[in-house]
Structure formats: C-alpha cells, structure tokens
Structure 1
Amino acid sequence: MAICGEYIRSQFPTIDDDLYQYVQGILDSSKDDFEDGDEVYEAIGQVLHEVEDKSENEVRQICVRLLEILKGNSNNDDDIDRRKNGVNKVLNAPVHLGSLAATLEAQVEQIKSIWVTTRDDVMKVDAKKLEKAEAKLQQKQEKRIVNEQGSASRINTANNAAESAASASQMTSKKDSRMETKGGVNKTQDIRIENFDVAYGDRVLLQAADLTLAFGRRYGLIGRNGLGKTTLLRMISSKQLRIPSHVRVLHVEQEVAGDDTSALESVLECDYERSTLLSQEAKLQAAIEKDGSKTGDALGEELARVYEAMQLAEVDKAPARASAILSGLGFSVEKQSWPTKAFSGGWRMRLALARALFSKPDLLLLDEPTNMLDIKAILWLEKYLQTWPKTLLVVSHDRKFLDTVPTDILYLRGQKIEPYRGNYEQFVKTKGERERNQQREYEAQQAKRAHVQEFIDRFRYNANRASSVQSKIKMLEKLPELKPMEKESEVTLNFPDVEPLSPPILQLNEVSYSYNGTDMVFSNVNLTASLQSRICIVGENGAGKTTLLKIITGALSPSRGTVHVHRNLKFGYFSQHHVDQLDMRVCPVELLQTHFPGKPIEEYRRMLGSFGISGNLALQVINSLSGGQKSRVAFALMCAAMPNFLVLDEPTNHLDIESIEALGKALNNCQAGVILVSHDERLIQMVCTELWVCGEGSVRCIEEGFDEYRRIIEKELEL
C-alpha cells in the first residue's frame, strides 16, 4: 500500500491528508474485491476529480494503474526489486495443496486445511468479507442510478421548508460534500425504513412497521382518521425517521410568508441554483465594468462558464415553467405579479404547493393537497402529477384523485403499513380478495382443527390408537395460529329527523351582490329549493360560492333582489372554518353542554354517537382529535339545534374516505334540504341532483350534471 500512496501523492500533490487517508482506506479494504479499473474508478474516481481538475480518461488511467499496483502486476523496477526481496513469491513447480495439507495434518494435529475439510467441521463465514461482498453487489445493482441533484441545494424541511432548504444549502461545505458523496457507494434514491415505531404522546400509532418508497413511484397514503398519516409525513420530513442524507425531501405543510415578493418571484426563488448563477452573473458583469481591461480576460472566461451553466440549467425557461404551474393552480397573469402579502391563507398554501412542484425534490410529501383547490385546479394537478419524475407520497381522501395519481397505495391499519400495487380502485379489489382468502383459510383451518380434535377425543383412551392420537396432537401443535379477518368498524353518520314544511321553502329572485357597490360578484340569480333539494354549487375559487351561501342563510344581504324563506325554516350552516372555531380545550361532551345546557350527559353522548364520536373519544380533549374527528364533532354541534335545511361549505376537507362515503349516504337519507359546496367528485355524484355553477358574474344550472361540467373544464385545460 505504500507504493499506492506514493503514486497517489505523485499524481495529486495537492491532496489533503483527510482525503488521502480516505482513498487509502478504500483501496486497502477493497483491494481483493476490485476486478477491473472501472470498479476502482467507481469507488474513488469522483474524489480524485475534486482534488484536481483532470479529465475522466486521465483519472481512469490512474485507477487502472492503482489496480495494477494492488494486484502486483506492475513491471516497474521497484516492483521487480520487491519480488526479488521476497515480497511476492513465485513457485518454481506446481504444488498439490490437498496432499500437502493432508500430510501436515497427519504430522501436526493443530493444522487444518480448507481443502481437506471433513463433514464434521463447522462451516464458518468471514463476516467482514461477507459484508464487503454484499456491499459490492449492492453497488453494482445500483450503478445505473445517477444522483441528479448536487449537494449545494439540499432541502431538509422540518417546519419551514424554504428556510430549512436555504440553511441546509449554506451549511454544506465542499469537503463534507465530497466525503458524503464518496463515503458510501450506495447513492440510490430509493427509501427503505424498517421496523420503526411512531407514537403520539402515550398512544402508539405504528409499531414494528416497514415503509419502502421506490424512486419514481407515486404513493397514496390512506387510512382512517387518527391513525397517524400526518404524523408519519412530519417525521419523514424532519428526518426523525432515517432517510438517506442525499435525498432531498420537501413537505408542503405551511403557507408561504406574506411580504412584498411577487407570487412569480416567490416560486422562482425556490431554484437555488438559478438564483446563485444569476447572482454570479451580476457580480461578474459589475466587476468587468469596474475593472475594465485589467482583468477582463479572466473575468470574461469565468462569465462564459457561468453562461454555460445557466444554459445547462435552463435558467431562461424557468419563468415560463413557474408561470405555467401558477396558472394551473388558479393564479391569473395579473395575480402572479401580486405581492404574497396580498393573498389569503388558502392562496398562500397554493403558493407553497407551486414552489414544491417547481423545485422538484427527490421526495415530495403532500397532505390533502386538494383541500385548498377548486375542481379546475384539482383536475390540472391530477394531470401534472401523472408525469411526476421523482418520488411522491400523498395523503388524500379524494377517491377520484387516488384513482388518477398514485401508482401504489399504502394502507395504514392495525399499526402497520400494508403496500398495494395500483390505484385506489385496484386496492379495493385486491384488499377484498386478500381478506376473503384470509377468512377462508382461517375457516378451513378451524374445520381441520375440529375434525382432528374430534378424533383425539374419541380415541384418547384407546391403547390401540395411542400412537395415532399422539401424532394428531403433535400435528395440532405445529399448525400455525391463524386469526379471523377483523373488519374495521363501519362509519355511520345520522342527521336528526325533522318535520316536513309545505313549499315554497326557499326562493332567490333576481339576486345580485357586489362589494362596495362596484365589484359585481354575480347578478340576476334565481334559485328555488325544497326539503327534497340536493343542490351542489361549484366554480373556481373567488367566483362567489361562499358569498351565495351567506346570502341564502341571511349572513349577507343581497345588493339587489329578494330572498324568500319559510318562517319555520332553520338553517344548519357548516363553514370551511367550522372546525377551527371549536373550543380545543374541552372535550366534545363539554362543548355541547356549553352550547346547549340543561340536557343529561347521555343525550350529549347520543348526539355525538350519531356522528361516530363515541366511547372515550367523547371525553378526549378536542385538540387531541384528528381533523376528521373534529369535523364530526362540528357536525354534531350543528345538528344539536335540529336544523331542517343544511348548508354545507366544503364539509369533506378533513374527512377520510369512509367518512365521506358515510356523509353521502346520510345526506341522501336525511329529511332536511341540502345545498352543498364541495370539490369532492365522489360526494357530488353520490348526493347532488342539481348542479349550479358560479362564474363569469352569474350562477347557471347545468342540467347534464357534474359529468358535463368536468368535460367543460377538461376542454379549457387543453386550451
């Protein structure tokens, strides 16, 4: 190894001691495993490139030379002298090693030979060599995977994705980058987390769970409310679960901070490589103008290299790409120039999503991305994510979204993560077949056990059958213990019964509304509803859907026109922010007691039980409940007043798939009238018989229903 060291020093005189020791260690530990110069280059080539600016062919030749030195195939004078001095011995005649070892074993009992090992010897494996061999095999398998991103723009998000990314980029030194890139041969973008636990307080959410995310696959993470989906995403993004350090992770969780930065520039800022190149270009241009011809040639060459890097990074195409993403998410050309502080919280969340899509991290984590979007933006996002080139892990309860985007489904149940290939529809089929097979297998085993046990009981005391009985007993003991299929409890929601009212119930005649008498939201709206109505209002965000609901319920007065309401009509209004307005410090029972005092505890628990909040859930602090469970508490609070007309504004935002299904069934069965604003296609098609579209200053009815509305939007997106 001394010759290797001298040769490395001669070829790379500027190499520092740490890198020199690192390269020496790689060569020393793997010298027996290298088969050709390419494998030596894979192990240390990139390190040598960073030490000095040499061409790839030069470094490859150096690696071939190092392999020759390691294998003793060098023809230089030093090597010849070493062989003469006895360092490398050459046999003068062939030797039969088996005979030699056998002779030595007969003479000296302590000497044993691997060539004459007998059957009684215990096979032993050199653990270190086995570990090296496995690492080498894994390196070959993953050789095709290329690290597409440099170490300068690592995004390591915990609470604030953008700030964490910037700090991670600044903290990564050049030397650390070299050592990290070359220290491990495994640069795969696949993620495998084995045998991990996740707990929230005293509650265990996942136990001995396994999670595998293959690069380039799109995973839909599903499961009942409260099982830990959001907690799992946060632990992955904060690196509390072991993720390879070279994998860039971005979790869209917090809205963009409001300042004077425009929406478009806010998205472009995510491209740290672009920002760095533009900054370098500006500095070089300023230096050239200042220094003139003194250093013009050197600065010009450096500026040319920056321009070449900008061309490779497609810096000139970045604004168009960012603008296209913003447009797809509902930002008009005018809004893209607005400062971020001019947007509401929901629009800032869209900005956060746009930044994530633009930066293209290795692993993108999305938690209910459709909650903040209207139907048009959801359809655009579905189409965009179908060609997502990296790894995607998304929590969603939108069945249409889960049928369109994911290539795999991860199902949380029983503190485990069950992987399924295919979209949600395929998952339902596969899961049903798996459960039926498991139940059939269990029932078959139980029948066999009963048959064998009957034989044992019948002939237990028969001496002639004693051996048969014993064999049957042993057979029962060896049978694996199968468990019956445990079906998840069905979610049921029940709205209270109400007394019928004679029509007309609700009428809007020539209703118009404008802000400050100038900005017209809609005009000449005519709407009639009864207790049998199942009306869904759709449209882009900002088109006036929520405004129309507030006019219906009386929270706002129309600018023109009239609203006629039955004198006994009582509205139950569920707003988008209903959940956030709950008192988080009390339990659900105490919440109902505060709003509707004087009833027995059993009555409050019955109200909550109608919406799936039963047992200990009714006594837990609301802040500790999941988003879906909080929504059910809000439903119970709304229905405690016994409304006979339900006005629901985005009621599915926090509900899981099973709860959305239950909500659809409950709305179909309830006796109250329903006007619904929702972007969940499944719920709309389950419930609504009338579709009203807000947009272009009016509210119009589409008789063909949601399918026709979807076709209209898809045509607009194609344009």
Structure 2
Amino acid sequence: MLRIEDISYSVEGRPLFERASAIVPAGHKVGIVGRNGTGKTTLFRLIRGEISLDGGEIALPPRARVGGVAQEAPASDISLLDTVLAADTERAGLLAEAETATDPARIAEIQTRLADIDAWSAEARAASILSGLGFSEAEQAMPCAAFSGGWRMRVALAGVLFAQPDLLLLDEPTNYLDLEGALWLESYLQRYPHTVLLISHDRELLNRAVGHILHLENRRLTLWTGGYDAFARGRAEQRAVQAAEARKQEARRAHLQSYVDRFRYKADKARQAQARIKMLAKMEPITPPEEAAEQRFTFPQPDQLSPPILRIEGGAAGYDGRAVLRRLDLRIDQDDRIALLGRNGQGKSTLAKVLSDRLPLMEGRRVAASKLRIGYFAQHQLDELRAEETPLQHLARLRPDTPPARLRARLAGFGLHAAQADTEVARLSGGQKARLALLIATLDAPHLLILDEPTNHLDIESREALVEALTEYSGAVIMVAHDFHLLSLVADRLWLVSNGTVQAYDGDLESYRADLLAPERTQPKKPAKPRPGPSKERLTELRSEARRCEARVEKLNEMRDKLAKKLADPDLYAPERADEAAVWQRKYAEVMEGLERAEGLWMRAMEKLEAAETA
C-alpha cells in the first residue's frame, strides 16, 4: 500500500501540494492526470525520496522496491539483453554469489531463492520484453552504444519492467514508443503483478491499462474508480453539481445581503438583520469549478483539387543506395484519412518523407497535382525551431508582408496567446513548441497534411482539440501516431508498412491490436525435431519435481485461505487498526504472488512430465 498523507510541497514559493492525501492499495494500477505544471512528475520525485516534503508523509511498506525510468540506458558495449538482465539486481547478485559460495547451507539458500524468483527463465522473459518494445533478436545482441537515445530509453523501460519493482512509476512511457510498442505496453501493464502509477496523456492507455485515476487539481489529490472515460464522466457530473450549488449559494447570499442593506438600521428590523449578518458570516463559500482553458487548433482550409492529388507508381525508396521500401503503388485523394501502421524501423518515416517530397524515389515515379501543397510535421522539427526567436518572429520571418495583428490571430488560433507569442521558443513548454510547429506546417493551407507523431507533447485536452481540427479539415491526412484513441477517431483507411513494402490493411484498428498481441495465432508453428525417449531416471526426476511443486501449491493455498479469513474480519478495518490491516494485506499480496509463481512452476513441471511420458 502507498499512503500519501497531508503532504505539502512548494517550488520557489508556489505551492504544488497543500494537505494532499491519497491511499493506493497494493496491486492497484493507477493513472495520474492533471494539467501540465500541476506537479505530477514532482509527485514521483517525492515518492522516490529525491526531494523532501514541506509537510506530511509518504509511506510505503518496509523493503518495498520502487522503480521507474529516470534516464536512458547508458551507451555502453554491453548488449541490450545483458543490460536488461542486470536490472534485476537480486538475481545478478545471487548468480555472482553462487559462483564463489562454498558453504552448503548458503548454496542451498541461493538455489532456492533463484528458483523462487524464476531466475532460470529470466533470459527468455527479458528477450520477450525487448521484443515487445520493438527490438529484433539480432538487435538484442547488439551493444547499447549502437542505438540512439530514444531507443536506449526503450532499453531502460525494458529493464525496469523486467525487474518488476513493487511500485512501478512510469512518466509518459509511450512518448518514445510507436503504436505497436504502446499496445504491447498496455497489454503488459494489465498483467503486471504489482502496483503501478502511470502519468500519461494517452486516453486509450488510461482506459485499458489502469483501474483507477488519481487526479491532481487545486493542489489536492482525488482517487477515482475506473479508467479515464469513467473519470471524465464522473468529474463532469461533479463539476455540474458544484456549479449549481455555487449559484444557489450566491443567490441565497444576495437575498440575505439585500435584507441586511434594507433593514439593518431600522429599529423594528435590526434584530432580524443582525441574525442574517451572522448567517452570512457563517456561510462557507462554495467555489464554482474553475473553467479549463480552451484548447484549440484552427487549420486553414485548402481549395479543392481533382483526384488523385498524389500517386506513386512502381516506387522504391531508401538511403545510400539501399532500398527500405519497394513495390510502392499508392494513391491519395483529398478526402483520405490514412494511418500508417507497422513497427519502428519498417519504413513509416521513410514513406512520409517520400510522400512529402523530402526523399526522392530510387525507382518508379511520383506524380503530384500541379498545385499540390503539402504540410509536414515531425518530432525532429521541434528541434529546428529557432530557440532565440519568439513564435511571432517565426511567423513574421515566414510571412514578412502580413501585419502583426493577423499573425497574432493565427497564433491565437493554435492556443498561443499574447504571453506565448512574445516568449522565446527556448522558454516555451514542449506542448507550446508542438503547437507552433503544427501552425507552421499548416500555414499554407496544405491539401495534404503529413503528421509524424504529432501528440508526444500534447495533453489530453490538446489531443481532443487536434481531433476536432482534423475532423473539420478538408485536406488529406497521413498520420503516424502511437495514440490509439486519436487514430481511431481520425483515420478511415489503414496502410501497413511491413516487409519492405506498403499494403492496405483490411481490418480495423481493433483487429490490428488483436493481431499484434496474439502473433502465435497467425504464425505457423515449426515442426518439432524428433528426440530420443527419456531415461527411467529422468522420468523419476520429473515426477519428483511435479510432486514437490504440487505440495508447494497446496501449502500456499492453505496460507491464502487463512489470510483471506483474517482479512474478512470487519473489525480489522477500524481506523485504529489501519497499520495492522496494511500488514495483513501485504502478507496476502505476497502469498498470492508466490502462489501464482508456484502454480506456473507446477504447470511447467506437469507439461515436462507429460511430454516425457508420451515421447
């Protein structure tokens, strides 16, 4: 259990938390939401103990392991697989000690503990996590130094997932993943055996991977049950009730004040007036909910061109004479909304560059409408913004003949109002920079808008605003994004970039999710090689192992039943017994975790025995 009790914390005199409290039971998966700048990442630093509270307490169970991704994996000569394996420090330490231990009792303890933590399957588990995050088998054997910072962030994420800390803290983990990696992470977190706190602006991830939402607002914390959609509905209803109560109170206050103003100095009404003054003084003010700042994008509408606006015939594209994509036969009309699917490294960004005419074809031809205008947004373009210039100066350089008032209006149409328009880009937030880059990409009212991961720095409200803008936009859209919610609302066609080419994907996004997360159902199994039958001694050994595993499961089941009976006692949850209840809940969680592992070992032992007996 994570207990946050009456915490207070300020940064340079600005309070982020004031008597904020929340309790997260063990094993819960919780999404943390709140406006940018409210202190979500700071909360993680407080939980990890990196900074000190001004007041209050954050308590975790004794010896609880807390893990998260603070920085990318180092650019070392160690392979990706070994880097991830080293993240489980207990396993690494036990294996190192096993090499030098001489005491038989200690050797037995080490081997027992290694079996308990399933150390012998560790390499397969680490490889599976790396594969899910987009690394091929060959890449897993390569050194970390061979990969860029974004890919090393994936290695760091793989490491913390493999280590399975008791409290997993993830801060925007999908920002450096593609759609395929994000869907895999979503599925993995659903099965994660311990507590998870997840900061994310990915609405679909918050709907599918967590069961509670921890909302940070007005320096307080509120825990809601359900995913993001349930939270949004509940909060809207709460805000409506709060606003109605505030209006009623204001009307009541005005009525009382009117009576006081009319009669406080009249002798026959003075007593009643004084009574109403006391009522006004005692009336606790109900503050109406603060209205969220409107998030918006305003895309200029292009003129209509005859279809198709762009064709590629017999195309091949790549770099340094090596083709990444071949057999490209594609057509784009102005009413197309196309999502590009496929794992990183398959060529989605290469295709986007070809379509935007930033990369010439090696073979074939690209045929575009004579007046075609293309807008292109990619994450690297945020780095190409001039840090020393303001957004207004960026537009003035691109549109020197346009009056400043009109340029300011264009900036306001992307949520960059007076304060941001005159602020140097270096001092803008990531979301504000993304808005400026989107504005520049759409400045010419393009007929074709190509968006390569446009949402990385946008909060949930801004993503919803982007959906609305793209819905109203009358040009074609080609999009690469890891935001499943955005793609499901915007895209009506899917192109799969895989195996060196691009093909229309016949299913929808849900079927793509299913295909991605269940590849074993679509891939033919390799025929098993014939093996010699097991010896009698081997069969005896396997039967003995199966019996030991079964006995362990029975013992843990007995322990579980006893603890469940203990936890069913209502008296245990009295306020004065909160610490005792937490101890029993922790023990129950530990037994359930051990039972899950023991059952897995038993099933594997039975499968080995069955295979041996039928060989």
TM-score interval, smaller chain: 0.7 to 0.9
Residues 344-363 of structure 1: pairs in structure 2 closer than 5 A: 344-363=148-167
Given the alignment, which residue of 630, 637, 648 partners 2:433?
630
- 1:331-389 per-residue CA deviation (whole Å, 9 max, x = no partner) reads 23222222222223322111111101111223322121122223332222112212323
Q: Does 1:212 align with 2:22?
A: yes
Evaluate the alpha carbon distance shift between residue 631 and residue 238 of structure 1 in structure 2; reply closer, same or farther with a 3 A threshold.
Answer: farther
| C-alpha distance in structure 2 between counterparts of 1:232 and 1:612, whole Å | 27
What secondary structure does 1:580 align onto?
Answer: helix
How far did 1:304 drift?
A: 4.0
Establish whether residue 665 from structure 1 lines up as the match of residue 476 from structure 2. Answer: no
The residue type paired with residue 535 of structure 1 is I
Partner of 2:605: none
Residue type of the alignment partner of 1:680: D
**2:34 corresponds to which residue?**
223
CA distance in 2, matches of 1:431, 1:718: 41
Counterpart in 2 of 1:325?
129
| Cα separation, 1, equivalents of 2:223 and 2:75 | 39
Work out the CA distance in 1 between the residues paired with 2:109 and 2:486: 56
Deviation string for 1:526-583 (max 9, x for gaps)?
A: 2222322211111111111111111111121223221111222122110122223323
Q: Does 2:492 match 1:689?
A: yes
Counterpart position of 2:208 = 404
Larger radius of gyration: 1
Partner Cα distance (1:622, 1:236) in 2:
32
In 1, distance between residues paired with 2:117 and 2:218?
A: 46
Distance in 2, matches of 1:222 and 1:397, equals 8
Q: Is the 8 A contact 1:233 1:251 kept in 2?
A: no
Distance 1:213 1:626 in 2: 31
How far 1:435 moved relative to its partner? Answer: 0.5
Instruction: Please list the CA deviations of residues 425-463 of structure 1 after superposition, one character each: whole Å capped at 9, or x if unmatched.
Output: 110111011101101211222232233344445544554
Q: Distance in 2 between matches of 1:685 and 1:300?
A: 60
CA shift for structure 1 position 305: 4.1
Determine which of 352, 358, 366 is the counterpart of 1:563: 366
Given that residues 608 and 636 in structure 1 are in contact (C-alpha distance below 8 angstroms), is that contact kept between their aligned partners in structure 2?
Answer: yes
The residue aligned with 1:264 is 81
Map 1:246-645 onto structure 2 (within 5 A): 246-284=63-101, 299-300=103-104, 302-457=106-261, 459-460=263-264, 462-515=266-319, 517=321, 520-597=323-400, 599-645=402-448
Deviation at 1:310, TM superposition (A): 2.9
Inter-CA distance 657–247: structure 2 relative to 1 (3 Å threshold): same
Q: After superposition, what is the alpha-carbon deviation per residue over 1:248-291, rounded to whole angstroms, capped at 9, x for unaligned?
A: 3333132111222111111111122222222222234xxxxxxx
Distance 2:46 2:393 in 1: 32
Give the whole-Å Cα distance in 1 for the aligned partners of 2:463 and 2:454. Answer: 9
CA distance in 2, matches of 1:258, 1:213: 38
Any residues of structure 2 matched to 1:105-184 within 5 Å, and which?
Answer: none
Could you tell me how far apart the structure 1 residues matched to 2:320 and 2:425 are? 39
Alpha-carbon contact 2:389-2:424 (below 8 Å) kept? yes
Q: Which of structures 1 and 2 has the larger relative contact order (alpha carbons within 8 angstroms, sep 6+)?
A: 2
Structure-2 change in CA distance of 1:562 and 1:436 (3 Å): same
The TM-score, its normalising length taken from structure 1, stands at: 0.67
Give 1:191 deviation, angstroms: 3.6
SS of the equivalent of 2:382 reads coil
692-701 vs 415-424, greater mean Cα deviation = 415-424
Partner of 2:9: 197
* Secondary structure at 1:612 match in 2: coil
Sort the Cα spacing of 1:562 and 1:668 in 2 relative to 1 into closer, same or farther, 3 A. Answer: same
The normalised TM-score by structure 2 is 0.78
Are the aligned partners of 1:380 and 1:717 in contact in 2 as well (CA < 8 Å)? Answer: no
**CA-CA distance at 1:703 after TM superposition:** 4.4
Is 1:233 aligned with 2:36? no
CA contact (8 A) 2:4 2:59 kept: no
Are the equivalent residues in 1 in contact too, given 2:416–2:432 (CA < 8 A)?
A: yes
C-alpha separation in 2, matches of 1:225 and 1:414: 13
Show the counterpart of 1:9.
Answer: none
Q: Percent identity?
A: 39
**Partner in structure 2 of residue 287 of structure 1:** none
How far off its partner does 1:600 sit? Answer: 3.8
Distance in 1 between the 2:391 and 2:43 partners? 26
Provide structure 2 residue ranges, at least 5 long, that are not aligned to the other structure.
Answer: 523-615
Structure 1 residues 306 and 481: alpha-carbon distance in aligned structure 2, compared to 1, 3 A threshold: closer
User: Is residue 22–residue 222 contact of structure 2 (8 Å, CA) maintained in 1?
Assistant: no
- Deviation track 1:151-195 (CA, whole Å, cap 9, x = no partner) reads xxxxxxxxxxxxxxxxxxxxxxxxxxxxxxxxxxxxxx5242533
CA distance in 2, matches of 1:569, 1:235: 52
Q: CA deviation at 1:615?
A: 2.4
Aligned partners of 2:48 and 2:453: how far apart in 1? 28
Tell me how large the CA RMSD over aligned residues is.
2.6
Q: Which residue, 453, 478, 482 being the options, matches 1:679? A: 482
Q: For residue 694 of structure 1, report the CA deviation from its aligned partner.
A: 1.1
* Distance in 2 (alpha carbons) for counterparts of 1:694 and 1:516: 20
Cα distance in 1 between the residues matched to 2:455 and 2:509: 17
Alignment gaps of 5+ in structure 1: 1-188, 285-297
User: Residue 315 of structure 1: CA displacement?
Assistant: 2.2
Q: Matched residue of 2:358: which SS? A: coil
Do the aligned partners of 1:408 and 1:423 also contact (CA within 8 Å) in 2?
Answer: yes
Distance in 1, matches of 2:333 and 2:480, equals 17
SS at match of 1:574: strand
Residue 618 of structure 1: CA displacement? 2.0
Which amino acid is the alignment partner of residue 51 of structure 2?
A: Q
Query: CA–CA distance in 1 between the matches of 2:503 and 2:479?
Result: 15
How far the C-alpha of 1:641 sits from its partner, in A, is 4.4
CA distance in 2, matches of 1:556, 1:325: 34
Question: 1:160 maps to what in 2?
Answer: none
**Residue deviations 1:659-708 (CA, integer Å, cap 9, x gap):** 11111111121233211111211111221121111112321213443233
Kindly indicate whether the alpha-carbon contact (under 8 Å) linking 2:317 and 2:326 is maintained by their aligned counterparts in 1: yes
Corresponding residue for residue 568 of structure 2: none
Q: 1:218: Cα distance to partner?
A: 2.0
Q: Does the CA-based 8 Å contact 2:318-2:350 persist in structure 1? A: no
Quote the residue 1:81 is aligned against: none
- Give the deviation of 1:301 after TM superposition: 5.1
Is residue 537–residue 694 contact of structure 1 (8 Å, CA) maintained in 2? yes
Distance 1:637 1:442 in 2: 43
C-alpha separation between the residues in 2 aligned to 1:193 and 1:593?
51
Instruction: Pick closer, same or farther for the CA change 1:389–1:706 going to 2, 3 Å.
Output: closer
Equivalence for 1:30: none
- Give the partner amino acid of 2:4: R
Given that 1:223 and 1:656 are in contact with CA atoms closer than 8 Å, whether structure 2 keeps it comes out as: no
SS in 2 for 1:221: strand
